[in-house]
Chains A and B, each alone.
Chain A
Amino acid sequence: MPAAADPHVALRHVQHSFGRRVIFQDLSCEAPAGQLTVVVGGSGSGKSTLLRLIGGLIRPRSGEVLVEGRDITKLREWQLKEVRLGLGMLFQNGALLDSLSVFANVSFPLREHTDLDEAAIAETVHESLARTGLKDVDDLLPPQLSGGMRKRVALARAIVRRPHVLLCDEPFSGLDPISALRIERLLMDLNESGLTLLVVSHDAPSTQRMADRVLVLLPGQCVQGTPAQLLEHEDPRVRALLGEAIDPALVAAEEEH
């Protein structure tokens, strides 16, 4: 795949709501090219919605969503297909095709969008699976896999075509600590090879280890910065989401709110 002209993701003044529930009032944020940006926030703060907006799976009520320099809110579905060729996405539950084996799932993007022969496809698929720590799982069906294995297969599928931008929704949830660390290292390796990553995560230690930038989604606002900067932030909610010991008074205030 040729190098992206501008592997950069940005949202400008985005408003989005589900029915009467406002998710984003006026969200502006960005994931710089070649950096690993971790998105954190409370449950229901719109982390997954943010990734779905960037993937063009949902459209905002207003505002711009820039992916590799193009405002995808203006694009039609067939034009979005071109943009998505440069994107990879790991869904929270994997989103593997139930009726296809692991091998068929991971090879699916290669068969759809490349002219590789069977040998090359098999080599690429096995390399991708190995990077996520999986082997001898070719013939298994997704329902036969554990939650963590499903997630790793989904990650192997997301990176098999070497996208420019990788969107990961909760890549560590459901994984044992060793697998989680392996995935963390894989994401960092991918980032070092030039990939732009946006990772939604609740795991504060891994966020501090791997993030170049952190994007904190709070009700009605978004705070951005490096992990070190945000650990010094004046808002205790920001520090708590970055792993600082939580003040019980903060929990009480949230409950009152």
Chain B
Amino acid sequence: MLGLVSEMGFLATSFVVSLGQLGVFAGRIAGALVRPPVRVRELVLEIYKLGVLSVSVVVVAGLAVGMVLGLQGYSILARFGAAESLGSVVGLSLLRELGPVLTALLVTGRAGSATTAEIGTMVATEQLDGLRMMSVDPVHYIVVPRALGLALVMPLLSALFITCGIAGGWLVGVLLMGLDSGRYLTSLQGSTEFVNDVVGSFVKAAVFGVIVGLVATWRGWRSEPTSAGVSAATTSTVVIGSLSILLGDYMITALWGL
């Protein structure tokens, strides 16, 4: 019993310590963000690696999710004679929830884990210490372009996911189930509010981007300088990142109704 209490106490202390370290790390990133020079070349390279190279995954996933939504939505709506509302069901589901959340989960698995592994390997091979010895802040040179890159690409990838999802729903609803294309699009347009739905979706995706960027870089930064340590850090990025996204989604929805 005492052992259990002791173990729980240790876990609670470790959790608080980790939160503190994460807070300090976030502060260092924020400080480095506003400090010159602006590393445009590194940022563009990261946007390419994290964003452009994720496009194919996001397009395929978006189409698949949209097509499933089209099939499920049509069969349920048809029971109530409301099959013509398929466009709004698919569109709102994607805009308000599925688009930002699923994109963030996909990006965490593909780009977030890769970012952690890359930084972790740099720790293990003393590249970050090498930068320090050249009087270059590794947070400024290595971490900021990656964290900022993830925060910037997330809303764009989410928009792409939503667009593909809507297209997938259209393919199933219109070409497979025989719905009128105009009604599908009119239903979508009529039920979507720009600020609440479209802007809200972007804001959600941007918040998820910040979360993934912070978690991925932090886990890499804190990884043990061994192959097992880098592997563990990569796994923890996917676990912590995914849970943070899902919990963050609930918080944003509950607090601001987005």
Contact = CB atoms under 8 A, between A and B. Distances in A.
Interface of A: 52, 55-57, 77, 80-82, 84-85, 87-89, 91-93, 95-98, 108-109, 112-113, 154, 157
Contacts of B129: 52, 55, 57, 91, 95
Given A93-B126, A95-B125, A96-B127, A57 B133 contact: yes
B125 A98 contact: yes
27 contacts: A55-B132, A55-B133, A56-B132, A77-B137, A80-B132, A81-B137, A82-B135, A84-B134, A84-B135, A87-B133, A88-B133, A89-B130, A91-B129, A92-B126, A93-B126, A95-B125, A95-B126, A95-B127, A95-B130, A97-B130, A97-B131, A98-B125, A108-B134, A109-B134, A112-B136, A113-B134, A113-B135
A52 B133 CA distance: 10
B132 A84 contact: yes
A214 B71 CA distance: 78
B135 A112 contact: yes
A81 B135 contact: yes
Contacts of A77: 137
List the 10 closest pairs (A to B, CB-CB), nearest first. Answer: A95-B130, A95-B126, A81-B135, A89-B133, A84-B135, A109-B134, A91-B126, A85-B135, A57-B129, A95-B127
Nearest to B130: A95
A81 B141 CA distance: 14
A98 B127 contact: yes
A57 B126 CA distance: 11
Q: How large is the interface on B (under 10, 10 to 19, 20 to 34, 35 or more residues)?
A: 10 to 19
B43 to A, nearest CB: 14
A84 B131 CA distance: 10
A157 to B, nearest CB: 8
A148 B151 CA distance: 40
Contacts of B121: 98
Contacts of B136: 108, 112
A112 to B, nearest CB: 6
Contacts of A55: 129, 132-133
Contacts of B131: 97
Nearest to B139: A77
Contacts of B134: 84, 108-109, 112-113, 157
A56 B135 CA distance: 11
Given A55-B129, A112-B135, A113-B134, 14 more contacts: A52-B129, A55-B133, A57-B129, A57-B133, A81-B135, A88-B133, A89-B130, A91-B130, A92-B126, A95-B127, A96-B127, A97-B127, A98-B121, A98-B122
Most interface-central of B122, B132, B135 (chain A CB within 10 A): B135
Contacts of B132: 55-57, 80, 84
